[in-house]
Amino acid sequence: QAPAAAAAAAAALLAQQQAAAEAEESRPDMEVIAAEDLAMMLASDNLLIHKEAMGHAYAVTKQALKIIMLRGMIPVLEVDRVDDAVELRTKVKALDPFGRDPAMVFIGIPDPGKLLKALQEDLTSNPPLEYELQEAVNHLFTTAKSEIVASKAPDLVSKSIFVDRNWVVLDPIAPDPSFTRLAEALHGNYPDVVTRHFVWGYGRQLWDDGVREYGRRPLRVVLLGAAGSGKSTQAVTLAAHFGLPVVNVGDLLYEEVKNRTNLGLEAKVFMDGSKTVPDRFLFAVLTKRISQPDCLSRGWLLDGFPHTGEQARKLKSMGIDPDKVIHMEGPHALFLERTMYRRIDPVTHRVYQILPSNNSGGGG
């Protein structure tokens, strides 16, 4: 068994070294230097942080920190122990050109059961070298508990962020809940750099803390206007800027017809007969779409709906309340002209305006 264990250990070490090398390549802000150069930097007191692990040294230079501060940015320094953070706090304050006291944020899992489970999962997926698995788990568990106690010292930590490993982010584009908590903590200390919009987005949660949910920053917008006012064009622009899914009820209904769903086949009867499709079909496709994960986490931009006051009241009764309503206005003559000369590409669905031949302008 000894040769097999040695081979497994060697393979694990090789995998770890390869992962470290790949990490260094993917981090352009990191620089690998010779041990002699590191010794010179230590001797000249040019390092802010210096730690050694498994034959490697990791450090942050004072110069790097100064550059970030002078750019008006916030340097975020990560350490494993509260004692290291206390020492670092004094050093960073001395380097700050404005003499500001750095904010200390503690991140941990206060529930002992969840903490132990998290450590077991992490170490099982990435086995420690030169340690038995359970030995390493017990050691880290004891250390983590002592750090939680140390973080509760009076006037030490600006904000404690307790992480729940059971969080599930439905949309991979949405911020992780723990990241939002960290951003909120930094906003409390640096509101001019980490703004409320960065933490909570531009939706209702920006001003109503009763609807806030960490990890979700939905913005719900209704864009209205007459035909030819440019709703769809502006919808694409706004959606791209704020990262919103565009929801067009008409397109959703045509998709149901195309896919020959029960709802689509029933609605097709009205469409083929050039009759107005009843509202129940429109609300059915709408509620289905905005219940999807991307709309729940990021919000939506409702393009050209509702059409009537009755539909607007129905939306409100269903609890579908927009944060912003934009109504596009303009001369009716202009809208009529745009509608008369509108053409839609059947392949790309892009809308073009073909001007009359006696007009010297081009289409577009």
Give whole-number Cα distances, 107 to 157, 162, 179, in Å: 10, 6, 11
Output DSSP code: residue 211: G
Record the tokens describing residue 279, joined without a space: 């509202």
Cα distance between residue 249 and residue 283, in whole Å: 8
| Distance separating alpha carbons of residues 244 and 223, to the nearest angstrom | 13
Amino acid identity for residue 100 in this structure: R
pLDDT at 112: 86
pLDDT in tens, the chain (364 residues): 445 555 555 555 555 555 555 554 555 567 788 888 888 888 888 888 888 876 778 888 888 888 888 887 878 888 888 888 888 888 888 888 777 778 888 888 888 888 888 888 888 888 877 778 888 889 889 998 898 888 888 777 666 666 655 544 444 556 677 788 888 888 887 888 889 999 999 999 999 989 998 888 899 999 998 888 888 889 989 999 999 999 999 999 999 999 999 999 999 999 888 888 999 999 999 999 999 988 988 999 999 999 999 999 999 999 999 999 999 888 888 878 888 877 777 777 677 777 766 554 443 3
Sign for the pseudo-dihedral over CA of 145, 151, 153, 159:
negative
> Cα 169 to chain center, whole Å?
10
Classify the phi-psi angles of 140: left when phi > 0, otherwise alpha if psi is within -120 to 50, otherwise beta: alpha
User: What pLDDT score does 27 carry?
Assistant: 57
Peptide bond into 245 cis (omega under 30): no
Report the alpha-carbon distance of residue 300 to residue 322 in Å, rounded. 9
Distance CA 270, CA 262 (A): 14
What pLDDT does 158 receive?
Answer: 66
Q: pLDDT (tens digit, 9 = 90+) per residue, 11-26? A: 555 555 555 555 545 5
Whole-number pLDDT of residue 168: 43
Q: What is the distance, to the nearest Å, from the Cα of residue 7 to the centroid of all Cα atoms in its chain?
A: 41
Contact 119, 109 (CB under 8 A): no
| CATH of 219-329 among 3.40.1370.10, 3.40.220.10, 3.40.50.300, 3.90.1150.10 | 3.40.50.300
Cα separation, 38 vs 274, whole angstroms: 79
Predicted structure pTM score: 0.66
What pLDDT, on the 0 to 100 scale, is given for residue 319?
92
β-pairing, 47-53 with 56-61? antiparallel
Helix (H, G, I), strand (E, B) or coil at 168: coil
Residue 110: the pLDDT is 80
- Considering only CA atoms, which of 241, 232, 227, 242 is closest in space to residue 302? 232
Is residue 93 within 8 A of residue 66, CB to CB? The reply is no
